[in-house]
């Protein structure tokens, strides 16, 4: 954003309205906060309670370039005066680079316009969601909404993870929610049919994804369970792997360092926002429990088999969070259907990231976590942490 420090200092934090445009022309809105910290200008992308810092800001003439602290993403734009930017958001994926048209305007600040007036209903609570894929098959989710007036926040819980921080409005009998974190780019729209029903919804996910959805209010529905979660193959109780770390040093689960230790194996990718949430949790857990005989090893599955590219992305991820435990490069992509067979053949298919394996002091796999619900899921994050701590406390005492 243009460097207008005097304005930011005198007026306090300033909110810009930004859009990225999908391949089908649908625009996904998000907000950017311009503020001052320690007499320096700072920028954050906002999703409800989340603040993502803008990094590596560079200006050349009327052009600006910036990135986010994680993921293979960047922005390049042209300044149009002091209050507008237009350009591209560039996202690197497993295949092609995606070029999303991008705009930001300081004159607008609201993520969504209340074009249908004040909210007619309050949808705070839990909702049993049915999402229909383009091929007609369905999948389940649990939505959690919190509404104050017309302001709406929430998330969706799937069998593997949550949709992190969604923010939007209820206007008339319609709801609109969006989120942008560099990895996930989501827009949800629907009609609130009654106090207990939502219909006619569309879920725009990423560059091209589009699904329909409906929901009914529920009181006690738990998050949906995976149909065939990752597990140990019959007759297998231990893992056997050896991969290089970011310095090229080979690390094995059979190394002396891990003998008689409780070991957590994190299957993750530097491209994955839910993995970022889990890594923050694991770092805190590691610091509190390392001296009790707990070790953590992360195995990363990236977008590419290009070692140089993958290493840059993983090092960016590690630097952002200050990860104190080893991150090992499997050399196998997240999209490889044979990734389990190629890296951890003792497992059935790896279906989601993050997936976390917990090993006892004898090296036996005692639990496999295939669902991680992060801080955006509220009570479910607290429940996840409590259950995780209980499991590890028992293993530490053995």
pLDDT(219) > 90: no
* Cα atoms found within 13 Å of the Cα of residue 26, Cβ hemisphere only: 17
pLDDT at 2: 53
Cβ neighbours around 371 below 10 Å, total: 21
Domains of the chain: residue spans and CATH? 5-105 (2.40.160.90), 125-218 (2.40.128.120), 242-397 (3.40.30.10)
Number of residues assigned to the chain = 398
Mean local confidence (pLDDT), 118-137: 97
Tens of pLDDT, residues 387-396: 999 999 999 9
**Bridge partners (DSSP) listed for residue 282:** none
The one-character DSSP state at 38 is: T
Burial class (CB in 10 A: 0-12, 13-18, 19+), 390: exposed
Quick one: pLDDT at residue 6? 42
| Residue 125's pLDDT band (cuts 50, 70, 90) | very high
Is pLDDT above 60 for 7? Answer: no
Q: How many CB atoms lie within 10 A of CB 216?
A: 15
Residue 307 clears pLDDT 50, i.e. is over it:
yes
Question: Contact, 379 vs 298, CB < 8 A?
Answer: no
| Number of neighbouring beta carbons within 10 Å of residue 286 | 17
For Cα atoms 143, 148, 154, give the angle at the middle one, nearest 5 degrees: 20
Q: Across residues 265-291, what is the average pLDDT?
A: 97
Average pLDDT over residues 4-17: 66
Q: What span, in angstroms and rounded, lies between the C-alpha atoms of 275 and 292?
A: 24
- For residues 314-331, give the mean pLDDT: 97
Q: Indicate the average pLDDT of the chain.
A: 94
Q: With CA atoms as reference, report the closest residue to 85 among 9, 21, 19, 22.
A: 19
Q: What is the pLDDT of residue 3?
A: 54
pLDDT attached to residue 11? 58
pLDDT band of residue 115 (cuts 50, 70, 90) is confident
Element (H, E) at 270: none
pLDDT in tens, 42-89: 999 999 999 999 999 999 999 999 999 999 999 999 999 889 999 999
In 3D space, the residue among 138, 186, 139 whose CA is nearest the CA of residue 158 turns out to be 139
Cβ count within 10 A of residue 140: 15
pTM of the entire structure? 0.93
The conformation of residue 109, written as its DSSP 8-state character, comes to -
The pLDDT confidence band at residue 9, using thresholds 50, 70 and 90, is: very low
């Amino acid at each position: 954003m243009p460097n207008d420090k005097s304005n930011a200092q005198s007026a306090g934090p300033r909110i810009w309205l930004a859009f990225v445009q999908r391949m089908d022309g649908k625009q996904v809105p998000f907000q950017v906060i311009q503020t001052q910290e320690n007499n320096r200008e700072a920028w954050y992308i906002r999703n409800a309670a989340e603040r993502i810092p803008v990094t590596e800001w560079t200006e050349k003439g009327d052009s600006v370039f910036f990135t986010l602290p994680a993921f293979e993403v960047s922005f390049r734009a042209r300044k149009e005066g002091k209050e507008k930017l237009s350009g591209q958001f560039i996202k690197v994926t497993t295949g092609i680079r995606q070029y999303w048209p991008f705009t930001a305007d300081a004159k607008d600040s609201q993520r969504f316009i209340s074009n249908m007036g004040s909210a007619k209903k309050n949808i705070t609570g839990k909702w049993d969601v049915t999402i229909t894929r383009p091929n007609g098959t369905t999948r389940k989710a649990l939505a959690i909404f919190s509404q104050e007036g017309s302001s709406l926040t929430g998330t969706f819980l799937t069998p593997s993870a949550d949709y992190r921080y969604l923010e939007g409005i209820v206007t008339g009998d319609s709801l609109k929610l969006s989120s942008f974190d560099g990895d996930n780019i989501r827009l949800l729209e629907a009609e609130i049919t009654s106090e207990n029903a939502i219909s006619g919804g569309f879920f725009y996910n990423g560059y091209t994804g589009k699904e329909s959805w409906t929901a009914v209010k529920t009181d006690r529905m738990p998050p949906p369970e995976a149909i065939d979660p990752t597990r140990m193959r019959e007759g297998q109780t231990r893992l056997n792997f050896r991969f290089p770390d970011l310095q090229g040093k080979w690390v094995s689960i059979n190394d002396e360092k891990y003998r008689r230790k409780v070991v957590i194996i994190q299957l993750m990718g530097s491209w994955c926002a839910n993995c970022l949430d889990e890594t923050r949790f694991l770092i805190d857990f590691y610091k509190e429990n390392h001296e009790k005989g707990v070790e953590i090893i992360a195995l990363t599955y990236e977008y590419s088999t290009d070692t140089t590219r993958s290493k840059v992305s993983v090092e960016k991820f590690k630097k952002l969070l200050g990860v104190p435990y080893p991150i090992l490069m499997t050399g196998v992509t997240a999209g490889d259907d044979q990734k389990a067979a190629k890296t951890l053949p003792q497992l059935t298919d790896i279906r989601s990231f993050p997936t976390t394996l917990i090993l006892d002091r004898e090296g036996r796999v005692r639990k496999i976590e295939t669902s991680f619900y992060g801080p955006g899921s509220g009570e479910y994050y607290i429940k996840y942490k409590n259950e995780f701590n209980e499991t590890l406390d028992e293993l530490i005492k053995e």
